[in-house]
Structure 1
Amino acid sequence: MNLGMETECVEYKRSTSEMREGMESIASILNKHGHGTLYFGVRPSDGEVVGQDVSEKTLRDISQKVGELIEPRIYPQIERLETLEGKAYVRVEFSGFETPYACDGRYRIRRADEDIVMSHAKLAEMMRESENRSNPWDSRNSDTPVSAVDEKALRRYVERGVEAKRIPFSYTEPTDVLSRLGLLCEDGMLTNAAAVCFVPSKDIMLKMGVFADSKRVHILDNQQVTGTLFSMVDAAELYILNNIRRAFVIDGSSLHRREVPEIPMDAVREALFNAFAHRQYEDDSAIQIDVFWDHVYIYSPGLFPVGFNPEDYLTGEESTSKPRNRLIATTLYRSGDIEIYGTGLQRIKAACDEANVPFSVTQSRHGVHVSFMRSEGIAAGNTPATVDARRQGDARTAILRYARGHNGITTAATSELVGEKDYTARRLLNSMVEEGLLEKTGGRKGRVYKAIRHSH
């Protein structure tokens, strides 16, 4: 019986004599994906079930080892399985989202089918995320006084909330309103959520550009914006609207003319609020808006929580929301600017489907990317997939240049170079091998991809 090859979420061990290595794989996979499966009694090289003795004690030993070595504690499902030929093996299914996970005090992370020592930078990032789960950034003290609040923005916010029937009181004055909204700290200073929403930022939080081509070389316009969250969403929405095409439609009954943008602005506004609500504010990168001839691109720093991905939300398979900035999300919900947590992507999809506008939501190593196709792009036969492929084409050029200059390139170096997750980088490298651009050298644990001399 064959179970297929190992993946980033599936690990094989020939027997429980490799118990410690198996525990390391569990922690590594949890740190990358939040869930996975470990098998004992399966050959790692090809996924063939070779079997081993499996008794109640075997299952108990595995369970005890998980409890002894993995921290924070997890509770896997451990079961004995048997092939038709009578070969016994063990399947361990596990999940957990309290990253980072350590095995015997050491932190590793999954890379393809390897368990590598986590970098200091990655561990620090995960530690920050762990701190945010118990002490969210947006609930912390911003050391900003109430006097810094843009009172007009706060008043308009309350008016929208009252109209949406989500704020049960009228505007009075800033301290009273912010206190009743739970946006003040015990010492009377603003929470980070209040500062983001109602205090004009000093740092550039939004960058916008229009490009003549797909290479980001010929810049037609470039703007950098500061402000409150609400003013920046308005600025980004207006910028996109002013730089895309609009059709004029005549209402047959009233003969009134109305403008119909080539991209549904309800979807754009939802994407913008999502970008600001769920971004990682400790990262000093800005929200980025790029307008190309064939698509509009929105980038937000910060990833989906470990174990969650955009596709699950788009298909409706996942509706559980774990917002990074729960207080900011709650604040936006009260004003009617966003709806129930976990439904934003489905609303974007519904608006785009109704307007027949293809779009995509993906994430790389550092953030989330949303692309809306424009009418010229659709007419040219472009799709979100071809846009992504074009970006990968640029990535291929960068990979080849690096491989030639460094006598090869690893999956890790590719991941860092193109800003993609390890499994995406590995898939890209393998596709370049199939195209005859690269060749694999070395074993599975230390593979290097080298440029073939005749490649261009």
Structure 2
Amino acid sequence: MLDAESLESLVEELREIGSDFASVEVKAGERGLPRSVRETLSAFSNGHGGLLILGLAEEDGFGPVPGFDAAKIRDDLASCCSDELTPPVRAEIEILQVHGAHVVVADVPELDGRQKPCYVTARGLATGSYLRGGDGDRRLTQYEIQQLFANRGQPLEDDEIVAEAGIDDLDRDAVTLLLSRVRRNQPRVFAAVPDAEALLRLHVARLDDEGTPRPTLAGLLALGIYPQQFFAQLAVSVVVVPGTRMDQVDDGGRRFIDNRTIEGPIPAMVDEALSALRNNMAHRSVVDGVGRLDVPEYPTEALREAIVNALMHRDYSPVGRATQVQIEMYADRLVIRNPGGLFGTVTEEELGLDGMTSNRNSRLSRLLQDVVVPGTDRVVCENRGSGIPTMIAQLRRAGMDPPEFRPTLSSFELTLPRATVLDEETVNWLSGLREPGLGHEQRVALALMRQGHEVTNATLRRLGLERHEATTALRDLVDRGLVFSTGGRKYARYALRQNLAEGHRSLFDDLFDDVPAAASGQGRAGRPSRSAEIQQLFDNGQTLTAHQVADATGLGLAMVRRYLARLVEAGRLVATAQPTDRKRAYRRAGR
């Protein structure tokens, strides 16, 4: 749960932006508990959790609601969480103060995946299940509800018999290599059994109702000659475009530099997709101990892991089979998208951490760890949860930024940046913040936030920090007044403060760009100048602490300290003690 100071800081940012965030919903509640609260509770529970704030009016600049009965709203909200949603929502609900006014704040946790979806009981599962979309709530689609129910157990679609196929639809050479490998590695199980029995034990094939062995979907995808004969959309599309958007064209009017559909079994699709990407990649020069080398823009092994991951973990349910794995290469990034979101107990926060894995397609995943890539002695995957960590390690070794993950209930999207976020322009922007002592991971986090990306504790962990180090680094950015938290306690998300994001100006410039208007007390866009407001507190010669300034202005303590530090730096105030001194106070310069 947020403390009062963090809540005030969050409300200040809401006022700057003028709207809610995806993980924060603000409602007035002047006439009692709004009916739409039920939808929001469902949406937060089915997503990543979030904060619900009652008692502020968005249309009035997130100002306090006159006559708001915080105690009654708190009790009504607790009853709603307990009695009007299935399963009940276990939110932490408190009454806090914002600039002297009482509001109700609920920290709504994400529901355990085995209990989703959470729905408004009176509306039923089909029409009462919601998810966040932008800063609002939308109904779950039937496919999304299906995916949530699939997450409660182990899907078996990859173990289904393909009734139209026969054993002759499997590639004999690939089958021979597979059996040779498993007999060598597991002689007790496979050495003494005939080929037909071995294929049944591996679930490459199963017996149909008439006792005839037929390939399973997993067997056909891993070892088939042409799986698309039976499932036309179980393929990979590769599109290369000249710009940063799908609708852009190059100087010659071309919309697509390359556009192909790749078919065949998974080992062949991985190799052909990788070849297509290599053919469309530029190279960059790097200097190592022996001289200058030309290396591809994206590390080959990172791409291989990403493609295998998409094909191995995609949704193979009847509805999911209508969608291909999509690979899109833009001028600034590579996007790989597959149907089906995260499966099992792995959360978005845990993606990329060693040993964290959960297989939607257990039969297929097991087969691919013994299926040999054509023309090599390597297998398609290790199936030990090392795919994404290996990909991240390869990107880090190449000096590139970590991937961005965007899982939804219906799809999983992976984005690989083409170049580092710490380019020359971004480095200059960071220098303009005048923030000494920022670590590399903090600088990357700020750069990602500036580009509009969401940053969490896991983002910094993927950069190599331990969990507690990542928490400390992010809290330091909050304390410096550079970022703010928009999520609940468990899944906090961090965003750049609006005065830094707008125009990409330094906070120092933003703080004092309204100096000519200080006499009138007005800052940018007619807003009261915070610097002028704080300076006026010292006009009569007072010496004040940061706590006293916070009480007088209604600002959060972290923000006040930020303004005071900048006023000291500008020579307008002087501090009476060192920053570590608990008795540190401030007075007008020259007095």
- TM tier, shorter chain? 0.5 to 0.7
- How many residue pairs match? The answer is 377
Letter in 1 for 2:44: I
Q: TM-score, normalised by structure 1?
A: 0.63
Choose which of 226, 230, 237 in structure 1 pairs with 2:274.
237
Letter in 2 for 1:94: P
RMSD of the TM alignment (CA)?
5.0
Choose which of 174, 178, 200 in structure 2 pairs with 1:153.
174
Give the CA deviation at 1:354: 1.1
Q: Aligned equivalents of 2:426 and 2:199: distance in 1?
A: 47
* Residue 137 of structure 2: aligned partner: 115
Contact 2:308–2:381 (Cα < 8 Å) also in 1? yes
Q: Aligned equivalents of 2:117 and 2:37: distance in 1?
A: 17
* Residue 348 of structure 1: aligned partner: 391
* Partner secondary structure for residue 208 of structure 1: strand
1:195 and 2:220 are equivalent in the alignment: yes
1:7 and 2:21 are equivalent in the alignment: yes
Give the CA deviation at 1:233: 0.9
Q: Aligned equivalents of 1:171 and 1:296: distance in 2?
A: 47
Fraction of identical pairs, as percent: 19
Q: Aligned equivalents of 1:218 and 1:271: distance in 2?
A: 25
* Residue 332 of structure 1: aligned partner: 368
Give the CA deviation at 1:303: 3.5
Q: Aligned equivalents of 2:85 and 2:387: distance in 1?
A: 35
Matches for 1:208-227 after TM superposition, within 5 Å: 208-209=238-239, 215=248, 217=254, 219-227=256-264
* Residue 454 of structure 2: aligned partner: none
Give the 3 Å change call, closer, same or farther, for CA 279–114 of structure 1 in structure 2: same
Q: Aligned equivalents of 2:32 and 2:133: distance in 1?
A: 23
Give the CA deviation at 1:261: 4.6
Letter in 1 for 2:276: Y
* Residue 286 of structure 1: aligned partner: 324
Give the CA deviation at 1:350: 0.6
Give the 3 Å change call, closer, same or farther, for CA 7–297 of structure 1 in structure 2: closer
Contact 1:15–1:52 (Cα < 8 Å) also in 2? no
Give the 3 Å change call, closer, same or farther, for CA 231–181 of structure 1 in structure 2: same
* Residue 371 of structure 1: aligned partner: 416
Q: Aligned equivalents of 1:304 and 1:135: distance in 2?
A: 13
1:270 and 2:292 are equivalent in the alignment: no
| Unaligned ranges ≥5, structure 2 | 15-19, 372-378, 428-443, 452-494, 504-591
Contact 2:333–2:415 (Cα < 8 Å) also in 1? no
* Residue 533 of structure 2: aligned partner: none
* Partner secondary structure for residue 95 of structure 1: coil
Give the CA deviation at 1:351: 0.8
Letter in 2 for 1:142: V
Letter in 1 for 2:418: M
* Residue 52 of structure 1: aligned partner: 70
* Partner secondary structure for residue 142 of structure 1: coil
Choose which of 244, 261, 265 in structure 2 pairs with 1:228.
265
* Residue 127 of structure 1: aligned partner: 145
Q: Aligned equivalents of 2:90 and 2:187: distance in 1?
A: 41
* Partner secondary structure for residue 328 of structure 1: helix
Letter in 1 for 2:312: A
| Unaligned ranges ≥5, structure 1 | 390-426, 436-456
Give the 3 Å change call, closer, same or farther, for CA 157–230 of structure 1 in structure 2: farther
Q: Aligned equivalents of 2:217 and 2:203: distance in 1?
A: 12
Give the CA deviation at 1:66: 3.3
Give the 3 Å change call, closer, same or farther, for CA 337–112 of structure 1 in structure 2: same
Letter in 2 for 1:288: Q
Contact 1:54–1:90 (Cα < 8 Å) also in 2? no
Give the CA deviation at 1:227: 0.8
Letter in 1 for 2:416: S
1:43 and 2:52 are equivalent in the alignment: no
Letter in 2 for 1:373: R
Give the CA deviation at 1:195: 2.8
* Partner secondary structure for residue 280 of structure 1: coil
Give the 3 Å change call, closer, same or farther, for CA 357–88 of structure 1 in structure 2: closer
Q: Deviations over 1:15-44 (max 9, x none)?
A: 89417533221112234x2423445x5335
Matches for 1:340-419 after TM superposition, within 5 Å: 342-358=385-401, 360-363=403-406, 367-371=412-416, 373=418
Give the CA deviation at 1:231: 1.4
Give the CA deviation at 1:265: 1.7
Give the 3 Å change call, closer, same or farther, for CA 131–107 of structure 1 in structure 2: closer
Q: Aligned equivalents of 1:92 and 1:341: distance in 2?
A: 35
Q: Aligned equivalents of 1:47 and 1:305: distance in 2?
A: 41
Q: Deviations over 1:391-436 (max 9, x none)?
A: xxxxxxxxxxxxxxxxxxxxxxxxxxxxxxxxxxxx9xx99xx89x
Q: Aligned equivalents of 2:195 and 2:88: distance in 1?
A: 45
Contact 2:313–2:361 (Cα < 8 Å) also in 1? yes
Give the 3 Å change call, closer, same or farther, for CA 53–69 of structure 1 in structure 2: closer
Letter in 2 for 1:148: D
Give the 3 Å change call, closer, same or farther, for CA 124–268 of structure 1 in structure 2: same
More deviation in 302-311 or 103-112? Answer: 302-311
Higher Cα Rg: structure 1 or 2?
2
* Residue 492 of structure 2: aligned partner: none
Give the 3 Å change call, closer, same or farther, for CA 238–113 of structure 1 in structure 2: closer
* Residue 106 of structure 2: aligned partner: 91
Give the CA deviation at 1:236: 1.6
Contact 2:396–2:402 (Cα < 8 Å) also in 1? no
Contact 2:348–2:407 (Cα < 8 Å) also in 1? no
Give the CA deviation at 1:62: 5.2
